[in-house]
Structure 1
Amino acid sequence: MSISIADLNSQQIDVLKEIGNIGAGNAVTALSKMVSKRIDMKVPIVNIVEFKEVAELVGGPEMLVSGIYFKVSGDITGSIMFLIDNDSSRTLINWLMGKDETNADLDEIELSALKEVGNILAGSYLSSLSTLTGLSMTVSIPSLAIDMAGAIMSVPVILFGQVGDHVLLIETDFIEGINRVKGNFFLIPDEQSFEILLKSLGVI
């Protein structure tokens, strides 16, 4: 029988949390290089959460957020979603493009840049996972949606609800001076991939 996120024991969850910590460290390093600024981070919060909790965790179902979605392929298959609120999106773009804008609306160039930031951050997480497990993983071209959190999260619920209702959440605060970006990574492995992942980590 395949293992789902909801079936993980405390040791397995601890290992996934450690991967989340290492991935977040790699992501903040990549972000610092990308924006040519010193970016710090709080210790990431890594949890197993239910789909129905996700919208609340990012500010409520009606909170406007940017959702960057990737399909994962290779030895492990599934999806990654990177969710940030619109103020954090603006802060990220300001860092990247040397701007000091306050308007949360992004133009086409800025939206493209936001996708690229998401791409690099997601790649950093997967690179960490690949290094630790020896498994090959690649991400698709990112898809970006800006909508209410409830609407954005309805997509993975429809796509993945049938294989379990839990996801791995890695919550990371990126800090530059007085500015802060709260990033939420959701890793949604396909059910059969969990067993492969846990075996490669030596906890099954």
Structure 2
Amino acid sequence: MPSEFSTVQLDALKEVINIGGGNAATSLSQLINKPVHMTVPTIEVMAYEDMFEQVMSEDTMIDAVLTKMFGQAEGVFLLVGLEEDMKHLASIMLPENSETMLPENSETNPEMIDSALKELANILVNSFLNAVTKLLDINLLTSIPLLTRDMFGAIVSSVYMESGQYDDTILILKNEFYYMGERMEAALYFVPTPGVLDKLFSVLGV
């Protein structure tokens, strides 16, 4: 479908996301002392209803960690994945010598898993934004991460409405990360508030 953004604007945005995501992957690698790699960022403009066909079914139950961004630009970051995949993802944040922290035993300590997921989102988002603020010389802050479990459609709809996004056309920015050669079954999304991308393009000169 036609995009309201030019190819030059999307390429510039992809480069910013690539730099931020690379910084996030480096920070995570240093924290767990194991290599984490990032894919080339995906940027898609699509009709809202198409998202549930091309990205994920709206009735799929997921874990999502929500982090709000505010300051000179506003928006919401979402670290999203299926519950079992997110438990596996959280396990890399936890000590290897603790059996109660392994994915197969994580039901015995859900608070630890939840805490690890929120900390993971905090590291990814803030590492990402630290790179962006240095690149663009703007001031950005984040809220405390919040973890929620619900259907994908319900979570995304709530975020878009809260962000003032009522357009039928939506912009999806997504990075995926690889750990020990395997794709981490979760993705970091960014939902900008109206006008934020125009400001960003202005700073980038595109």
TM-score range, shorter-chain basis?
Answer: 0.7 to 0.9
Contact 1:68 1:145 in 2 (8 A): yes
Unaligned runs of 5+ in 2: none
Alpha-carbon distance between aligned partners in 2 of 1:48 and 1:171, rounded to the nearest angstrom? 15
Which of 28, 31, 34 is residue 34 of structure 1 equivalent to? 31
**Cα gap change, 1:115 to 1:43, in 2 (>3 Å):** same
Equivalent in the alignment of 1:158: 161
Equivalent in the alignment of 1:188: 191
Q: Does 1:170 align with 2:170?
A: no
Q: CA deviation at 1:19?
A: 1.3
Q: Does 1:77 align with 2:98?
A: no
Which of 145, 150, 163 is residue 148 of structure 2 equivalent to? 145
Q: CA deviation at 1:180?
A: 2.9
Return the letter of the residue paired with 1:91: H
Q: What are the equivalent positions in structure 2 for 1:1-204 lying under 5 Å apart?
A: 6-97=3-94, 98=96, 99-102=101-104, 105=107, 107-159=110-162, 160-162=164-166, 165-177=169-181, 179-203=182-206
TM-score, with structure 1 as normaliser: 0.84
Return the letter of the residue paired with 1:88: D
Alpha-carbon distance between aligned partners in 2 of 1:49 and 1:23, rounded to the nearest angstrom? 23
Alpha-carbon distance between aligned partners in 2 of 1:185 and 1:175, rounded to the nearest angstrom? 15
Contact 2:165 2:193 in 1 (8 A): no
TM-score, with structure 2 as normaliser: 0.83
Contact 2:165 2:194 in 1 (8 A): no
Q: CA deviation at 1:88?
A: 2.4
Unaligned runs of 5+ in 1: 1-5
Alpha-carbon distance between aligned partners in 1 of 2:146 and 2:155, rounded to the nearest angstrom? 12
Alignment partner of 1:7: what SS? coil
Return the letter of the residue paired with 2:57: G
Equivalent in the alignment of 1:3: none
Return the letter of the residue paired with 1:139: T
Q: CA deviation at 1:56?
A: 4.1
- Per-residue CA shift, 1:32-58, capped at 9, x if unaligned? 122221223333333334443444455
The CA RMSD over aligned residues, in Å, is: 2.3
**Cα gap change, 1:163 to 1:125, in 2 (>3 Å):** farther
**Cα gap change, 1:175 to 1:10, in 2 (>3 Å):** same
Alpha-carbon distance between aligned partners in 2 of 1:162 and 1:132, rounded to the nearest angstrom? 30
Contact 1:21 1:43 in 2 (8 A): yes
Alignment partner of 2:76: what SS? strand
**Cα gap change, 1:68 to 1:127, in 2 (>3 Å):** same
